[in-house]
Amino acid sequence: MQPFRDEVSARLGELAPRLLDRLDDMTARVVDVLHTSDPAYRRLSDRDAGELRCSARAGLERGIRSLVGAAAGDPRTMQREARQVGRRRAAQGVPLESVLRAYRLGGQVTWEALLEVSPPGDVLLLEVAGSVWRTNDAECAAVAEGYREEQLRRAEADDAARQRVLDGLLDGRGGDPAFERVAAELLGVPLEGRLLTVVALPDPAGEPTLADPGPALLRRGVRSVWGARSGAQVGVVVLGARRPDQVLGWLAALAGGPVGVSDVVEGVAAVAAAYRMAETAARTLPAGEPRVVTIDERLPEALLTNSPEISSRLVARSLGGLLELPDEERSVLLDTLAAFLAADGSPTRAAEALFCHRNTVMHRLRRIEAVTGRTTTDPRSRLLWQLALLGAGRQAVAHR
């Protein structure tokens, strides 16, 4: 605040004691107006009238003494105290608009009191008016800053608490009725009835691949809670009476990478198992593929994904020497085998899918039999080949 001219400083020095004598009346007026005109402050006053009265009185007194300080040429800031008030009101749940209105009211009451204790027509007060409102503006800015700091701190604390609760559900604590009640209250969703669990794997840089799923689903009327685990996004979706395929379609529109979805489960106690299903489904997809799949769509792949040692052995034993052939021949024979299996063992339909002659397919199949030591007519060999192709990441031509 800029120092006043000497005559203005002298006048304020005369008026300040009179203002301080009126401090209790000024406080009562501020509290009364807030109580009658603002529901948030009415609730605050009903809970703790003493705190509101003390806070209002301290703010008014700081404003008066700030004027005297400027008059003496020793400007001082009230920003620290105003930030503290902003943080406190944010913690109490008072809307920021109400807090700023209260500070404006304090400036108005201070100015009106200054007019009341001044001689009529005192032109020196014109210089003081700008200082009063500039001080009030600075206080309001500091209040808003403190308020937002506290909001951010509380949001971060709430996020951490929600993550801890979600971790508990994923770890199997949903069967504890007490934990279930706490979880439902803190997460803000009804954790009962039909639920889905969703896992979205991150991109190679570790960034999320499902774009703001919570708000996107809420716009569709679907409630959900989201967190993170092992770098992946994890969500629990409250289905209600909706069909799962509706939610899958909405998620597919958001997906930028592999997304796995569990089967529908009943109640929060089943969330841990649903999470494992969804994570497994997601991990059956190639890295980076923007696709949403359910566990039921990927059961064979899930078996192989959950048993990497067995999967590797299955691939090696079933495909045998095929994997050791030169790149070009290996690729042709694996594509032929995939097409043959997708065609239910029909060389003719496999040839159509591969855009080649049936005799070419027959020749390649004989080569496959010779290299692997298995026969195309043996049902068990076909089963092993199909699983081995899944394990090796080879998709049937007809399904591409």
Q: Identify the CA nearest to 35 among candidates 118, 90, 110, 94.
A: 94
Q: How far apart are CA 146 and CA 360, in angstroms?
A: 77
Q: Is 291 left (phi over 0), alpha (psi -120 to 50) or beta?
A: beta
Q: How confident is the model at residue 3 (pLDDT cuts 50, 70, 90)?
A: low
CATH number belonging to domain 177-301: 3.30.70
Cβ of 7: how many Cβ atoms within 10 Å?
10
Contacting residues for 120 by C-beta, under 8 A, at least 6 apart = none
Compute, in degrees rounded to 10, the torsion defined by CA atoms 42, 44, 50, 52: -80
* pLDDT cut 90: percent of the chain above it: 44
Residue 298 near residue 267, CB atoms below 8 Å: no
Look at residue 260 and give its three-state secondary structure. Answer: strand
Q: What is the per-residue pLDDT across 9-42, written as a single tens digit (0 to 9) for each?
A: 777 778 888 889 999 999 999 999 999 999 999 9
CA of 312: how far to CAs of 97, 276, 333, in Å?
A: 63, 22, 19
| CA gap 305, 289 in Å, rounded | 16
> What radius of gyration, in Å, describes the C-alpha atoms of the chain?
36
What is the pLDDT, as a whole number, of residue 152?
79
- Give the contacts of 320 (CB within 8 A, at least 6 positions apart): 371, 372, 373, 374
Model pLDDT for residues 356-392, shown as the tens digit of each residue: 999 999 999 999 999 999 999 999 889 889 888 887 8
Token digits of residue 191: 């954790």
Helix-then-strand count for the chain, H and E: 17, 6
Range 96-119 average pLDDT: 90
Cα–Cα dist 219/216, whole Å:
5
d(CA 299, CA 18): 84
CA-based end-to-end distance of the chain = 73
pLDDT for res 153: 81
- Residues 104/162, Cβ–Cβ less than 8 Å: no
Tell me, what's the pLDDT at 257?
94
In the chain, what's the furthest Cα-to-Cα distance? Answer: 114
* pLDDT 10s digits, 308-320: 777 788 888 888 8
**Domain coordinates in residue numbering, the chain:** 6-154, 177-301, 307-399
Q: Which residues pair with 261 in a beta bridge?
A: 198, 294
Q: Matching CATH topology for 6-154 and 307-399?
A: no
pLDDT band for 209, please (50, 70, 90 cuts): very high
CATH class of the 6-154 domain in this structure: mainly alpha
Q: Whole-model pTM above 0.75? A: no
Mark out the alpha helices in 124-267 (DSSP H runs).
Answer: 125-170, 177-187, 213-219, 244-254
Cα dist from 32 to 5, 28, 40, 203, whole Å: 36, 6, 13, 57
Q: Which CATH class is domain 307-399?
A: mainly alpha
Q: Phi and psi at residue 308, in whole multiples of 5°?
A: -60, -35
Burial class, 244, CB count within 10 angstroms (exposed 0-12 / middle 13-18 / buried 19+): middle
- Of 184, 256, 245, nearest to 213 by C-alpha is 256
For 300, how many CA atoms within 13 A lie in the half-sphere containing its CB?
13
Of 16-30, 123-137, 262-276, the least confident = 123-137
The mean of the pLDDT values for the chain is 86
pLDDT of residue 80: 84
Q: Which residues is 224 bridged to in the sheet? A: 237
Between CA 53 and CA 34 the distance in angstroms is 11
> Which one has a higher pLDDT value, 131 or 73?
131
∠ Cα 359 362 363 (to 5°): 90
